[in-house]
Chain A
Amino acid sequence: MRLYWTAWSMLFLGGPLAMAQNNADLLERMKAMEDRIQALESELAQLKGAPAPVQAGQAPAATPAPAPVAPQSAGVLGGAGAGASKILNPDVSVIGDFLGTVGNSGPVQTPSLEMHESEVGLQAILDPYARADFFISFGEQGVNLEEGYLTFPSLPGKFELKVGKMRAAFGSVNALHNHVLPWADRPLVTNNLVGGEDGINDAGFSLSRVFAGPGGLFLEGTAQLFRGDSSTVFKTYKHDDVSTVEHLRAYRDLSESTNLNLGFSYSRGHSPVAETLINQLYGFDATIRWKPLRRSIYHSFVGRTELIWDHNEESRPAAFGYYASGDYQFARRWFFGGRFDRSERFFSYNPLDQTVVLNPPIATQPLFQDTGGSLILTYWPSEFSQIRAQLRRTAYEQSITANELLFQFMFSIGAHGAHPF
């Protein structure tokens, strides 16, 4: 009897409850479908390149944040167009560097007008573990792979590994591409002791790691191993004639607007002069930057210096050189700067064709010393182009003084990735 009444109670009371439950479920499902239609409409609008249609008064509050990739719906037929595969192409950029020189250029002859460099950049994320960057430099005479390397940014232990051909982390200027230099040329010390424009640039490995030092100090250690061929700096004679570069960087924010960067570098490899000679380079660099955040697009100052010693295991003293420069941005598009250079050198210039002559390392062989100074004015028509004039005076050792006006037009097309600070 109790069972009988229970069954009837369930039938009469449970029925409406179940119906109510069904209605609630139905409403819930309809709401979910409505949300899904809205999400699909939004996706369709985005694919068409129009803003997502969000109706006035609509309450998307009820919809959860859409997943970045919407699930394939039965209502969507076919995939993306053939052109969609092009989105996997790398970012492509070309940076043109047109350079002109007027005046007496001394022993280092430079063309009066030249398309100094056209740098093609190809950059992309390779896979979930690595990215690839290629910078191919076209000159008027030939092509050079300036850099081409793989970067593994997320190795265990927060190490970063680069594999390929790259500019070495020696000092501050060596690692910079032409288009990010604050001058139209490179400092004398770079030309005399660190291989000039090509610099220490070789194939190998680079391992670096960022550390937090005491008191908010930023530290970065980099160790690089290269084949051992770098311009006039290092040469490899056999397989194990590798060169190495070590760099320790310390950085600190002095205030919100000002920061100081110090670097210590060491590099070692076989000298191009003789197989038995080992070239050792020691470097110290310091950069102070000031950029008030509220007016960062209008005013800034960067002061730089770099001191380099080149010792080649002979009894004669190391060659020494340095530069000090300052660049002040006095308006949104205008920069004014100056640079002082002084550097010794082992090599001499051939008076006939101005080519570099590597002198044998004889203790009695004197070191040449050059001294120079530049004033630089830079104008940016936009973020993507700049016009620069540089008045340069250089007193070379052999009583030759060069007075030149360099002018440069630099322009960038395409998507060129930002460079590290």
Chain B
Amino acid sequence: MLTKAVRCFSVVLLIANACLGASKLNVVTATEDLAALGQEIGGDHVNIESIARGYQDPHFVEPKPSFLLKLQKADMLALVGLELEIGWLPPLITQSGNSKIQVGANGYVDMSRYCQVMEVPTGAVTRAMGDVHPLGNPHYWLDPENGRRIARAFKDKFSEMRPADAPFFASKLADFEKRLTEAEKGWDAKMAPYHGAKIVTYHRSFPNFCERFKINVELYVEPKPGIPPTPSHTLDVINSMKRENIKVILVEPYFDMRTPNSIAQQTGGIALVLPPSVGGVKEIKTYFDLFDYDINLISTALAKYK
């Protein structure tokens, strides 16, 4: 009799477990950085997937129909915002037919609303300025402080959607913040000798990163955001780098290396492929890996030319 009761109880537990498993939050994020942060907080209580890959240009993602199948069953969509995804996400949202993630719905979460945003234009904005983001620079996740803010936003949203799991999400956030604070000490120590160092970047992808670690971006390989390098601008960059003794050029993985390599060759410097996102190279699997990798790369290069 007792054995039968234990068996029944086990079956009930299995069913309950299966039900709990089925009630995992389905979260879709625009980028792998948001997915990595969401995973830190959601743990095994969420299924989280990113649309864009870390090694592709997040401005130009094809809105492939296969993404619709992911969005169709999503409870939540987290996006970078500031019009980073303007060219591909809106039609996907509309076509998904999922009321939970439509603009303004509870599951539509624009993370830029929780973060410190840089390069917010204050004057007139025209396309003569290139492909400028009129709401501010969307590459804000590259400041760990903003990573912390995004993690908190995930915790709040997850807790709101799954109140029973709120203590779990709170403990995951506390653990994340503790590890992040600890990691920041190491990153700060590594970058401390290079405060004030001057560098060149291809696109305006690193303002938050450079502000946080006190590096000065003096020039850009692009003459204007989104405009490919021109010969005259490239010559200007070479001359300025020689004059200012700048040796390091940071290039996102999705840009062509010919111009940066040519500039580096003529200035005696180095062009580094610096991933701005989780998944940018296969070694970067978490938000912590992203900073470990990037800081290691930059500090090594700056040490060489110090």
Residues of A bordering B, CB below 8 Å: 49-52, 54, 60-61, 64-66, 68, 125, 128, 131, 151, 153-155, 158-160, 209-210, 212, 216, 218, 220, 249, 251-253, 256, 259, 261, 289, 291, 293-298, 332-333, 382-384, 413, 415, 417-421
**Set of chain A residues within 8 Å of B60, measured between Cβ atoms:** 296-297
Residues of B bordering A, CB below 8 Å: 53, 55-57, 60, 62-66, 68-69, 72, 86-91, 93-99, 102-105, 110, 113-114, 116-118, 120-122, 127, 130-131, 136, 145, 148-149, 152-153, 155-156, 177, 181, 226-228, 253-256
**B86, A418: Cβ atoms under 8 Å?**
yes
**A49, B72: Cβ atoms under 8 Å?**
no
**Set of chain A residues within 8 Å of B69, measured between Cβ atoms:** 210, 212, 216, 218
Known A-B contacts A65-B153, A153-B102; the reply to A294 vs B253 at CB < 8 A is yes
Known A-B contacts A293-B55, A418-B88, A421-B64; the reply to A65 vs B149 at CB < 8 A is yes
Q: How many Å from the CB of B179 to the closest CB on chain A? A: 13
Q: How many Å from the CB of B85 to the closest CB on chain A? A: 9
Q: For residue B94, which residue of chain A has the nearest CB? A: A153
Which 6 pairs of residues, A with B, have the shortest CB-CB distance?
A154-B99, A158-B97, A293-B56, A65-B153, A65-B152, A251-B65
Dominant SS among interface residues on chain B: loop
Q: For residue B109, which residue of chain A has the nearest CB? A: A68
**A61, B177: Cβ atoms under 8 Å?**
yes
**B94, A160: Cβ atoms under 8 Å?**
yes
Known A-B contacts A253-B66, A296-B254; the reply to A209 vs B97 at CB < 8 A is yes
A238 to B32, CA, bound (A): 56
Q: How many Å from the CB of A39 to the closest CB on chain B? A: 11
**Set of chain A residues within 8 Å of B89, measured between Cβ atoms:** 418
A210 to B72, CA, bound (A): 8
Which residue of B55, B99, B102 contacts A294 across the interface (Cβ within 8 Å)? B55
**A153, B96: Cβ atoms under 8 Å?**
yes
**Set of chain A residues within 8 Å of B113, measured between Cβ atoms:** 66, 68
**Set of chain B residues within 8 Å of A151, measured between Cβ atoms:** 94
**B156, A297: Cβ atoms under 8 Å?**
no
Q: For residue B178, which residue of chain A has the nearest CB? A: A61
**Set of chain A residues within 8 Å of B116, measured between Cβ atoms:** 51-52, 54
**Set of chain B residues within 8 Å of A64, measured between Cβ atoms:** 152, 156
Which residue of B93, B117, B148 contacts A61 across the interface (Cβ within 8 Å)? B148
Q: How many Å from the CB of A6 to the closest CB on chain B? A: 37
**Set of chain A residues within 8 Å of B86, measured between Cβ atoms:** 415, 418
**A158, B153: Cβ atoms under 8 Å?**
no
**B65, A421: Cβ atoms under 8 Å?**
yes
Known A-B contacts A158-B98, A210-B65; the reply to A153 vs B254 at CB < 8 A is no
A220 to B72, CA, bound (A): 12
A298 to B57, CA, bound (A): 11
**Set of chain A residues within 8 Å of B136, measured between Cβ atoms:** 51
Q: Can you name 21 A-B pairs with beta carbons within 8 Å?
A: A50-B120, A51-B118, A51-B120, A52-B117, A61-B181, A65-B153, A66-B114, A128-B102, A128-B104, A153-B95, A209-B97, A210-B69, A218-B68, A251-B64, A293-B254, A296-B56, A297-B255, A298-B256, A382-B227, A383-B226, A421-B64
**Set of chain B residues within 8 Å of A220, measured between Cβ atoms:** 65
**A418, B90: Cβ atoms under 8 Å?**
yes
**A420, B63: Cβ atoms under 8 Å?**
yes
Q: How many Å from the CB of A81 to the closest CB on chain B? A: 16
A54 to B282, CA, bound (A): 33
**A131, B122: Cβ atoms under 8 Å?**
no
A383 to B88, CA, bound (A): 14
**A49, B120: Cβ atoms under 8 Å?**
yes
**A51, B64: Cβ atoms under 8 Å?**
no
A253 to B256, CA, bound (A): 25
**Set of chain B residues within 8 Å of A297, measured between Cβ atoms:** 57, 60, 254-255
A295 to B57, CA, bound (A): 9
**Set of chain A residues within 8 Å of B53, measured between Cβ atoms:** 256, 293
Between A49, A64, A291, A420, the greatest number of chain B beta carbons within 10 A of the residue's beta carbon is seen for A420
